[in-house]
Structure 1
């Protein structure tokens, strides 16, 4: 220990003693950290095992007799090698068993889907799987070390000939670092190893036993800084029920349901009840109250519950007793190269053993065929016996591949007389020839080692790959705005007299339902506007004339405003939208002069333009005291525009004459197949321009058809084969196989009931839809099956419009043919002059606002556009 140092601080006149700790204490923390990193938490790159896992697999091999062993017995046996108690060994073994790769399990090993734990180790059993026996063990090339107490030998690393770490994944928290290697698909790992051996590039993405959906855009090869997003698979069972059939990795049904209930309690989502029917497969039924949108609820589940989560991988492994951070691609390359090296060592050992067998078989034949054993009859000493045999062999050993050792001669003396008496020269030669063939095969493998390794991986894939196809679907996710999908869980109230808005003013005027994460927009009679967060009570200002929930980037809600420009000033009219602003900042919608006030205001969610009547005061010689003003004649501009003059004279009042219709263009909607969502941003395929009454036509591969009002929150399944703007007059043509009658039928129909999902093929398990067309005059090409002994029947071209008339959706249709059909294809449709849809006069929306914040309050009609970022 070092000497003590005394300090006398002047500020408190007290004596403090600092004792510096040195000597044996100096490295204690470093030693502890190193021990946890190397011996407990982080797997080795050579075999992908943590020490406890390696010792479990070694114990399983020692106990292996082909039958199941009690896990308690295996745990006890492993304690000879692992000095940390039975609990850690049992937990680690259950984790290996649940991955269903290296261990065959029997009994209740828990459920990764529900989170149920395994039964006690005395009740469950295990043995090494056939795959584990093939890829994990090879004692002749294994390096060994003494166990912790020096009584036993254990492997330094097991000779694993497979990218096991990437297949199983690994997670561990050490001192100062952690690791999180995500599991990958068995078949894809083998394919990647083969590509690497062939010198080709490859990519690897995780695959989870819980299935689900995954966005790997930022996976970053599993390195630090990467991130993936995982989602549950949620589908609509009916209009009031959602089904969760797959869950995200890292969750289970219990934690998922808990997160849904918490979100419901907080008012983020609204559900009626949850049923958990999970057994072998996940099945969670989420029942919704009537009137709640299933599509919005799906998005809300992703936004506010564990149905979506992010996982940050961190590929850390141990190499040469040091932590190493590498990507999964490099990890697979190293594993594949290591497998190549292990296969080479096994082949070299096998070649050596075969050559030794050939050598002794040849010596044995020489020894017996030339009766050299008779020459030792007169020898009285052991040395004489050895010498006599050696001398007798010399004339016959020129073809041998190595010199004869004393050990070889000793083995010859151990041959039993019974074997000599029954020795068959032909069988002996056949054995030698077979050994020579085996030696030639092994040498060929060594000369073509890469091809041998490729065949090895291909055999693994063929033998063990069945049922190990990818479970997790890879898809790019759309970003969900929480404010758009949150349930309106509270009510907004307004106190006009005192100028307050909030959720706690329950005695005052009710405005609308809102959520606690919404923003609200407020307008006052003095022409002021403000956007603020929903709160219990917020002061805005007296004379509030309009309050609503604010939608960011909303350019379809149009505000119609008529205001007086200061005392004695003119009256102006303007139309504008508010898409983005600075929160809690007051904006002046007038020209900013003192005494300005609002004559007329309306908020129109779809750009409606009403007609109002303007009444002037009788002043002087004004002739026209009353006229109508149509807002449809006013161009929509930014909120900072001054507007158009209504009158220079004093306005008495303004009255609504008639409500207006939308002056906005029909909204163009696209479908982005990448994220399976609708959008208005121009991504994907244009479906058309939609007015309020227009609907989407959806047809699925299962023969279901329905029409829906297009909403950007809608979810679509991958089985959709038709998604387009619906024309109620255009017939739908379909050719289907009738499973009950075992014949092909053709039908044409129009949809008579909007919004109803209906099947247009018979409800039979063998019935299937072949083709469907929404062309006016489709044409199908029928290719027939060639029958034995007959010429193939020529193709049949069918004009579907001519073949069958339009009937009801439930009609069976007409039989297409009695002959066996090989394939049906759609050809180019016949020409048809589709009637043009008459469009009403439409008004363009100026999509921009003024960019100059300094000139915001004084901007004129001809000023440039302004856009303020929302903060």
Structure 2
């Protein structure tokens, strides 16, 4: 595009036929007007200043509220009207900005219906709601003595260039704005944490700050990047399992509300990504969304699906941009806090210097007044007839007595002395005057001390702020690492997959064809055809693979446990081979051949085994002259699992007539090792956290919670664990569990030992009295405890007792109350090292071999 653009005025020619064509050059408009507009939007509307953390509209609102402040509530409509004296924009934008400040509950005390950030309800009209400055705002935002002033837009008023805010306000409130060519998104942070970080900065210590949201929820800040470009946080709703058919959302992610959250859940349900029965919104002052689940739907899996497919999890990309010296700068939140804290120190120093000057002036005049009255200098002016004579007489009278003063006497000082009333002179009390001077001298020394120890003074300032205003401002958003949720593992199988084997088509719309399995619209499927072709493709309405499909199934990425066993003929007259392999990764929609891609290759036998089973098959050969053995058995367990590209082991050089399965196989895979990651409170097979053991299909996890609930579960990677879980380990059905608990009704400690007889049942191992609580639990064979007793009044304290729990009480039923531990008053119970015990090791338990003995059949652990 040319820099000079000519625009001919057609309208002028239309109304004035005789006029000549005129061209208007707009180069200057692009260079000057657009830049002026962009600068105006950036500086005056969208981006906050670093000095006080306010955009101009917020600064003018607060200044107007200070103008109107009389301690009482003021109609927001009046505040809007008053602000328009300073802000050259519409009343609607000012009213919205006031509501935004009020909803953050830091600078404004509100009265009336100010809307609900949880539900998204708007505030009432400005004529119905009222506001006043909070005590915090009055303490930290305003000080006319340290404020720099400028003329308002119409030249009639004085307004602050920046407010002297002594707090990192931009980080406490957050800021968001879209300008021309840039934007800003500074997330809100916790009030008390900002104060603690400011103190650490002043002490020369390192600090880290993370966002905190009034809506609560859970946040993963591992990629926060200090709030700079490229960073990202993930925020989740807090979802609890109330029972197996009911989920409760009691905290929601920042930037959402209950209406948008429920809409996203309903849309996901309509699309079949999740399955819910109904949803209720009971939100008022606190969030409560009830999600009712149908029977036989896993609540753990549903929670993961809610995070994957709804607004129960949102990603937010921060972008910290502020105005410094009339230019936008991108600074991390740590640097913003440092600069804000340093600015607070400068303001505190300025306030102290102003206060020191005022105190010295008070001391100076109090000293002059004392001299003037005590030395009766006022009598020297009785005979003076002119004003200059009066001034001179007082000056001469003071000279012998002013050597201790800290500055020279000015004409203004003498003028003030002449304004002292006779009544005050007559009631002058020398002792009180000296006491006042001494008090001023004490205050002066105190201010000087604070100036000399400015950092300590600033630290105390922040500590006082926290003590005065920090109550009730504890962190609301929990910080936690999130596990990655694979959508294909948690999505509901909401449609059906069909296949036409002979013609080679698969899809969800072929309802007259053979049904294969339930699937979802984001699944991948894997297909094998008779000629040895293998392909992975996305689920569609109808897709052509190749003719003569022999297997179709759901494909899982990185699945090392699904093993494909096959026997194939390599080419039209080639030899016959067998192979075993897993398919962990593949290029979608690309055809692969299980052999060497020779014409005439054919699969003679095929099986897909979800847990690496290896069956026994019988091979029948075609009759041929001189061939004595026409059939023989092959055990796939004798064959190692290798890559899909290997040729395999030779079965026979003779033509094979057919292959038939003779005996179902058992798994040849190792028991699966499972870890528990305390950070995300999830199981994994990626070696994160604590190793729980090697698990076969029938093995279970023992779970004991602080509230006394005991259960065992089949370990699944989608299981979510409560925060009060105190025992999580591989369950040994023959190993007793020992528990010591406080019995609420009898107010005594009881001991019990028991075995879990109903693995699928969740049971309470303490009494149901509201004051009963679990004290100690042990899964050792021979646990020991030490009892420390309280000292009884008038008696010596009883010596500590050591108790062998295995000898103290026999193994009883899980419902048994147990035996009383002691009748004495117990101060503390400590767990000691258990006594040695040789545990019987089950056959092949946790073994790392590649083969498993027959009879130890293992089903799939994780679907």
Secondary structure class of the residue paired with 1:259: helix
Aligned-residue offset at 1:471: 1.6
Offset, 1:556: 1.0
- Report whether the alignment pairs 1:466 with 2:451: no
Of the structure 1 ranges 515-524 and 807-816, higher mean CA displacement relative to structure 2 is found in 807-816
Q: d(CA) in 2 for partners of 1:2 and 1:745?
A: 93
Per-residue deviation at 1:568?
Answer: 4.4
**Could you tell me which residue of structure 2 aligns to residue 363 of structure 1?**
368
SS of 1:638's equivalent? coil
Q: 69-78 or 366-375, which moves further after superposition?
A: 366-375
* Aligned residue among 87, 94, 102 for 2:92: 87
Do the aligned residues in 2 keep the contact of 1:664 with 1:842 (CA within 8 Å)? Answer: no
Find the counterpart in structure 2 of residue 320 from structure 1.
325
Any idea what SS the aligned residue of 1:698 has? Answer: strand
DSSP-derived class of the 1:434 partner = helix
- Tell me: CA distance 1:819–1:56, structure 2 relative to 1, closer, same or farther (3 Å): farther
Equivalent residue for 2:108, pick from 99, 103, 108: 103
Helix, strand or coil: the match of 1:783?
Answer: strand
Matching residue of 2:232: 227
User: Given the alignment, which residue of 264, 267, 270 partners 2:272?
Assistant: 267
C-alpha displacement of 1:260: 1.2
Paired position in structure 2 for 1:20: 25
What is the aligned partner in structure 2 of residue 446 from structure 1?
451
Aligned-partner SS, 1:620: coil
Among 841, 844, 847, which residue is 2:850 paired with? Answer: 844
Aligned equivalents of 1:726, 1:700: Cα separation in 2: 15
Deviation at 1:147, TM superposition (A): 1.3
Counterpart in the other structure of 1:415? 420
Q: Which residue pairs with 2:536 in the alignment?
A: 531
Distance 1:197 1:723, change over 3 A: same
Is 1:169 the counterpart of 2:174? The answer is yes
* Distance (Å, rounded) in 1 between the aligned partners of 2:158 and 2:748: 71
TM-superposed deviation, 1:789: 5.7
Change beyond 3 A, Cα 1:594–1:4: closer
3-state secondary structure, aligned to 1:431 = helix
In the alignment, the residues of structure 2 paired with residue 188 and residue 520 of structure 1 have an alpha-carbon distance, to the nearest angstrom, of 50
Moved more, 316-325 or 361-370: 361-370
- TM-score between both structures, scaled by the size of structure 2: 0.93
Match of 1:193 in 2: 198
Looking at structure 2, the residues matched to 796 and 480 of structure 1 have their Cα atoms a distance apart, in angstroms, of 50
- Which residue does 1:709 correspond to in 2? 714
Deviations 1:170-228 (A, max 9, x none): 00111111111111111111111111111222122111111211121221111112111
Match of 2:244 in 1: 239
Q: Give secondary structure in 2 for the equivalent of 1:637.
A: coil
Equivalent position of 1:680 in the other structure: 685
Structure 2 residue 837 is matched with structure 1 residue 825: no
Match of 2:301 in 1: 296
Query: Greater shift after overlay, 346-355 or 480-489?
Result: 480-489
1:583 corresponds to which of 588, 612, 622 = 588
- Does the CA-based 8 Å contact 1:635-1:843 persist in structure 2? no
Structure 1, 617-626 or 820-829: larger mean CA deviation: 617-626
SS of 2:436's equivalent in the other structure is helix
Distance 1:796 1:57 in 2: 67
Matches within 5 A, 1:742-821: 742-787=747-792, 790-821=795-826
For the 8 Å contact 1:599–1:653, the answer to whether it is kept is yes
2:72 maps to 67
Match of 2:637 in 1: 632
Q: State the partner residue of 1:287.
A: 292
Q: State which drifts further: 783-792 or 606-615.
A: 783-792
Match of 1:695 among 693, 700, 711: 700
Match of residue 10 from structure 1? none
Displacement after TM superposition at 1:41 (Å): 0.8
Gaps of 5+ in 1: 7-15, 846-871
Listed one character per residue, the Cα deviations across residues 355-379 of structure 1 (whole Å, up to 9, x for unaligned) are: 1111122222222222322333333
Aligned to 2:44: 39
Which position in structure 1 is the counterpart of 2:497? 492
CA contact (8 A) 1:617 1:625 kept: yes
Relative distance call for 1:143 and 1:558 in structure 2 (3 A) is: same
Q: CA deviation at 1:510?
A: 0.5
| Structure 2 unaligned spans of 5+ | 9-20, 852-863
Moved more, 353-362 or 373-382: 373-382
In the superposition, relative to structure 1, how do residues 379 and 480 fare at CA in structure 2: closer, same or farther (>3 Å)? same
Q: Deviations over 1:222-258 (max 9, x none)?
A: 1112111111122222212222222111111111111
Distance 2:575 2:327 in 1: 81
**Is 345-354 or 648-657 further displaced after alignment?**
648-657
What's the TM-score once normalised by structure 1's chain length?
0.92
Contact 2:575 2:652 in 1 (8 A): yes
Residue correspondences, number: 837
- Provide the C-alpha distance between the structure 1 equivalents of 2:590 and 2:47, rounded to a whole number of angstroms: 53
Q: Which residue of 1 aligns with 2:562?
A: 557
User: What is the alpha-carbon distance in structure 2 between the residues aligned to residue 5 and residue 222 of structure 1?
Assistant: 46
Contact 1:367 1:393 survives alignment (8 Å): yes
CA distance in 2, matches of 1:147, 1:4: 39
Partner of 1:58: 63
Deviations 1:570-596 (A, max 9, x none): 433322222122222222223444333
SS in 2 for 1:167: helix
TM-superposed deviation, 1:448: 0.7
Show the counterpart of 2:488.
483
Per-residue displacement from partner, 1:95-129 (whole Å, max 9, x unpaired)?
11111111111121111111111111122111111
Change in CA separation of 1:145 and 1:594 when aligned onto 2, cut-off 3 Å = closer
Whether the 8 Å CA contact 1:39–1:51 is kept in 2: the answer is yes
**Deviation at residue 842 of structure 1 after TM alignment:** 8.0
Q: 1:403 to 1:699 in 2, by over 3 A?
A: same
Give the distance between the partners of 2:154 and 2:788, measured in 1 at CA: 77
Distance 1:5 1:82, change over 3 A: closer
* Secondary structure at the counterpart of residue 642 of structure 2: strand
Relative distance call for 1:624 and 1:20 in structure 2 (3 A) is same
Q: 1:284 to 1:667 in 2, by over 3 A?
A: same
